Amino acid sequence: MKTQTQPSYSFGTLVFRPRIRQYFANDLIITIVCIAGLAVAGIDGMFMGNILLWASLAIALCLIYRFLYLRSMRFVITDEQFIYEHGVFQRTRDFMELYRVVDFREESSFLQQLFGLKTIHIYSGDRSTPRLDMVGMDKSSNLVPFIRERVSANRKRNGIYEITNR
């Protein structure tokens, strides 16, 4: 009879999605330009109005896709893995073992600061996913300690210790 080793801890599964405000932090200026282009293209007798209309519609389609892509993002943190799900027409799931995480960084662009958001960069020794960005997280959320606790528990469970040469 074969037994599987189960983790001696259970943190549960956490699921995070980028906030909708991240869309505006990314694309506020181009959205305003697109709306202005659509409004100006509707004026009768506007020079090159048709070209402006079609260009604005093309930009609007790109903006809609970017919005849908942002809404499709999902960050799942289990007891042992970090899973990043994304994609509109083709869904992709990237897996990162928590014991491979080596560092974190938080940053906020100017517009992210205005909207109360931040990006958390997670660095790992994983070959396929050496860096994972959690965009659009609330600035007030304190996620790094939660992830760090899980990383530490996984390293202890797998007998992995960091040795540095300074």
Domain enclosing residue 83, as ranges: 14-158
Residue 166 lies in a domain: no
Residue 2 lies in a domain: no
Q: What is the pLDDT of residue 133?
A: 95
Residue 1 lies in a domain: no
- Position of tokens 């939660």? 146
Using alpha carbons, list the distances in angstroms from residue 151 to 109, 145, 146, 161.
27, 10, 9, 11
φ/ψ (deg, to 5) at 84: -115, 115
- What is the pTM for the complete model shown? 0.83
Closest CA to 24 of 37, 16, 15, 35: 35
∠ CA 126-132-133, rounded to 5°:
170
Residue 70 lies in a domain: yes
pLDDT digit string, tens, across residues 1-40: 544 555 556 778 999 999 999 999 999 999 999 999 999 8
CATH number of the domain encompassing residue 28: 2.30.29
Per-position pLDDT tens, the chain of length 166: 544 555 556 778 999 999 999 999 999 999 999 999 999 887 777 778 788 899 999 999 999 999 999 999 999 999 999 999 999 999 999 999 999 999 999 999 999 999 999 999 999 988 888 999 999 999 999 999 999 999 999 999 888 877 766 6
User: For a pLDDT cut of 70, what percent of the chain falls above it?
Assistant: 92
Q: What is the pLDDT of residue 6?
A: 54
How many folded domains does the chain comprise? 1
User: For a pLDDT cut of 90, what percent of the chain falls above it?
Assistant: 71
